[in-house]
Structure 1
Amino acid sequence: MSELASTPCSSKSTRRTTNGVDRVSSLPDELLHHMMSFLPMPEVVRTSLLSTRWRNLWASTPYIRIDHHDFKDYGKLKKFGDHLLLLRDGATSLDEARILANNVDTFTCCEWVRHAIMQKARHLHVSGYALLDSTAMFPAQHLKTIRLRSLVLRGGFVRLLNCECPVLEHLEIEQSDLWDLKEISSWSLKVLHLIRCLIIKGLVICASNLTHLSIDEQSCHSGAVVTRDLSSLVTASIRLRYDYYHTSGGSILDYRLLDGLSNATTLELHAPLPELTFERDLLTCLVFSNLTSLVLGDWCMAADLYPLRRILHRSPKLKELSIKLEMEECRSCKKSESALPLARGALPSGSGSSHPFIETIIIHCQKKDSRGDALLQALKLIAGNAKISIERR
């Protein structure tokens, strides 16, 4: 605007502007679609009133957004979403579909998701207090990313997701209830994030091409997690509540958390495994053969560092170790100390106490936590050649 204002009135550019030439409309569709991507979707649709050039441009945008924040009235939201999907140019593939629809009924939400998939969406983000079941799925040959938040997922939805999404690479489920979901299994999946989800029954994760896995702070009433056939796993971060395994119900001996983690090169584990589960997990998880970086939580200090030393004994390539003491005392760990079959420092014969490949060890703890100093002294005996430091906060 400043450049136009400073241009002499007799200039050709000024005459073209004052003569009503619309230079923006002369831009190619790709640039106009990019400009429209910064607008709320109702405003994108309203651009059809600008001129004949813009009349149908909104219908071929490579994205759709249905957002309840744009509407105060539920009826208007539903009408807008229905018409948006119905009138959109189906010949144009969707790059992204975002459906943020709190309190939308299950039928409508499933219908919107199904329509987005039918229009070849590559990235799908659904958020809202709705239920997704098998009616929401459609063979999705193009879907690469799915993000689901604050939903109730029925097993039928995920079963179809497992077998009808051949190129799906990234799946993120946050703050959702997985009612009858028993397994997440995919040949194409590479990244899986489960964030504060409620797993009603035990969940099996089986994905041979998965490279990144994170499970963060599941509900204390959740069923336990089994990991299998994660042969491509590179990084894993597991953070479970300290009362997780003590309230999950069922036979805890049937669960195998560590099975699929043995191939990871980087592992963060805040999972206070009960003593019998820990022992049985280690029997099937023979060695962390690729592990070079390890982060452990308070639970590893139970029974005179028995869990820590057991894991170190099975990690021959470990170079970096971090221990995060986040609580003053892990009550679940204290309760299980006496039940550990090899408690009070005993290790299997021939295990040794030296770990020459460990280069650095960092202990993270609160300023007044005396466990930090005790752990420092103990680690000097376990890995005396490593550079050991304490970071207090």
Structure 2
Amino acid sequence: MARKRVKRNHGEKVQNEPTIMAEDRISQLPDSLIHYIFSFLPTIHLVRMSGVSRRWRRMWVSTPFLYFDCQFNDVTFTKDVNRSSMFLNFVKNCLRFRKRYMQRDTFLISFKLDYYILGRNAARQVDSWVRSAIQSKVKELDLDVEGYRIPQVVYTASSLTQLKFCALNFESTSLSTLSSLTQLELRNLKLEAPFLSKFPTLKHLSLIRVVSDYKSLENLISGCPIIEDLCLVSLKVINHHGLDLSSLDFPAKTLKNLTLSSVEFTDQGFECLISRLAVLERLTLDYFDKVKNLTSVF
């Protein structure tokens, strides 16, 4: 406990009076742990926290987790600003500083981008950001950009292990070229897979509010021979009455976790499916059609 002189009793000095002083314990943590804490925050907050201490001044530059959210929900502005232009400039400057101060062999673990307005100029900038992430050997790529078309460089990225796509355009068959992909999550988009796609390393697949024809759905699921975790939420199958689970070629020998939420299917198909899943450990149902308010977890 620190000791210092303090004034008390009308200015009379008292020697060696114990006082409680604030201790910065977070800055004493190793860089890897601080970066992990940072991974849960949008990058703009990391930049704002750079003034907390000297050690934190460049911590945001070295973080392997980049999360850019155009909403700026927690940022207060003193005047009206063009948030879209400000966001584009912010991301561009962050990547520029990172490239300037980081070593060439510095890798990215995660790159997450949430951007809702996509003009022609913005699309080119997003392309450059994605390419920059790929060049940094990014492992996890999370893109929520409505109408954005994935550039070809993504389909040849050997470092990618996790993909999360929301409201954008992509070639599902081309994703099968990613030899290290273990997790795929698709949200708020249309799935088009006219041909059978092979995903030999994929273990986790989530389809959330996805619109698909029956053939595309079958081609995707059938191409995952070692999948362990399958999540289907609010899945809409075009030109098909309900989802016939019995006819889908599920990986019966590997599937351990199955989640079905707001998905229509027949009773017979469901019973047939469950009887085939020999290693199933957890089944989660959230279904409100024939069986009212059924929520089960086994």
For this structure pair, what is the TM-score category when the shorter chain's length is used for normalisation? 0.5 to 0.7
Aligned partner of 1:335 in structure 2 is: none
Q: Against the structure 1 CA distance between its residues 169 and 79, is the aligned structure 2 distance closer, same or farther, given a 3 Å change threshold? A: same
Q: Is the 8 A contact 2:41 2:67 kept in 1?
A: no
**In the alignment, residue 194 of structure 1 is paired with which amino acid?**
L
Which stretch shows the higher mean deviation, 31-40 or 206-215? 31-40
Gaps of 5+ in 1: 225-241, 246-254, 271-295, 302-306, 329-363, 368-390
Q: Is the 8 A contact 2:246 2:270 kept in 1?
A: no
Q: Give the match's secondary structure for 1:192.
A: strand
Aligned partner of 2:85 in structure 1 is: 75
How far did 1:162 drift?
A: 1.7
Aligned pair partner of 1:258 in 248, 251, 272: 248
Aligned partner of 1:234 in structure 2 is: none
Q: Give the match's secondary structure for 2:202.
A: coil
Alpha-carbon distance between aligned partners in 1 of 2:164 and 2:113, rounded to the nearest angstrom: 10
Q: Is the 8 A contact 1:179 1:201 kept in 2?
A: no
Whether 1:300 aligns to 2:262 is no
How many positions carry a matched residue from both structures? 264
How far did 1:318 drift?
A: 11
Whether 1:152 aligns to 2:168 is yes
Q: Against the structure 1 CA distance between its residues 177 and 114, is the aligned structure 2 distance closer, same or farther, given a 3 Å change threshold? A: farther
Whether 1:189 aligns to 2:214 is no
Q: Give the match's secondary structure for 2:236.
A: coil
Aligned partner of 2:10 in structure 1 is: none
Q: Tell me the C-alpha RMSD between the 2 structures.
A: 4.7
TM-score by length of 2: 0.67
Alpha-carbon distance between aligned partners in 1 of 2:164 and 2:201, rounded to the nearest angstrom: 16
Q: Against the structure 1 CA distance between its residues 23 and 100, is the aligned structure 2 distance closer, same or farther, given a 3 Å change threshold? A: same
Alpha-carbon distance between aligned partners in 2 of 1:267 and 1:38, rounded to the nearest angstrom: 26
Specify which structure has the bigger relative contact order, considering alpha-carbon pairs within 8 angstroms and separated by 6 or more residues: 2
Q: Is the 8 A contact 2:228 2:256 kept in 1?
A: no
Alpha-carbon distance between aligned partners in 2 of 1:171 and 1:52, rounded to the nearest angstrom: 39
How far did 1:297 drift?
A: 7.5
Q: Is the 8 A contact 2:202 2:226 kept in 1?
A: yes
Q: Is the 8 A contact 2:252 2:278 kept in 1?
A: no
Aligned partner of 2:43 in structure 1 is: 41
Which stretch shows the higher mean deviation, 130-139 or 76-85? 130-139
Aligned partner of 1:142 in structure 2 is: 159
Aligned partner of 1:9 in structure 2 is: 4
How far did 1:256 drift?
A: 8.9
Q: Is the 8 A contact 1:297 1:323 kept in 2?
A: no
Aligned partner of 1:108 in structure 2 is: 125
How far did 1:32 drift?
A: 4.0
Q: Give the match's secondary structure for 2:66.
A: strand
Alpha-carbon distance between aligned partners in 1 of 2:85 and 2:246, rounded to the nearest angstrom: 47
Q: Against the structure 1 CA distance between its residues 131 and 55, is the aligned structure 2 distance closer, same or farther, given a 3 Å change threshold? A: same
TM-score by length of 1: 0.53
Whether 1:118 aligns to 2:80 is no
Q: Is the 8 A contact 2:229 2:255 kept in 1?
A: no
Q: Show the 5 A alignment for 1:233-382.
A: 242-243=241-242, 257-263=247-253, 299-300=266-267, 311=272, 326-327=288-289
Aligned pair partner of 2:179 in 145, 166, 170: 166
Identity %: 21
How far did 1:47 drift?
A: 4.2
Aligned pair partner of 1:129 in 135, 146, 156: 146
Q: Against the structure 1 CA distance between its residues 200 and 113, is the aligned structure 2 distance closer, same or farther, given a 3 Å change threshold? A: farther
**In the alignment, residue 300 of structure 1 is paired with which amino acid?**
D
Kindly name which structure, 1 or 2, has the bigger radius of gyration based on alpha carbons.
1
Q: Show the 5 A alignment for 1:23-34.
A: 28-34=30-36
Q: Which has the higher helix share?
A: 1
Q: Against the structure 1 CA distance between its residues 27 and 176, is the aligned structure 2 distance closer, same or farther, given a 3 Å change threshold? A: same
Q: Is the 8 A contact 2:230 2:257 kept in 1?
A: no
How far did 1:78 drift?
A: 0.7
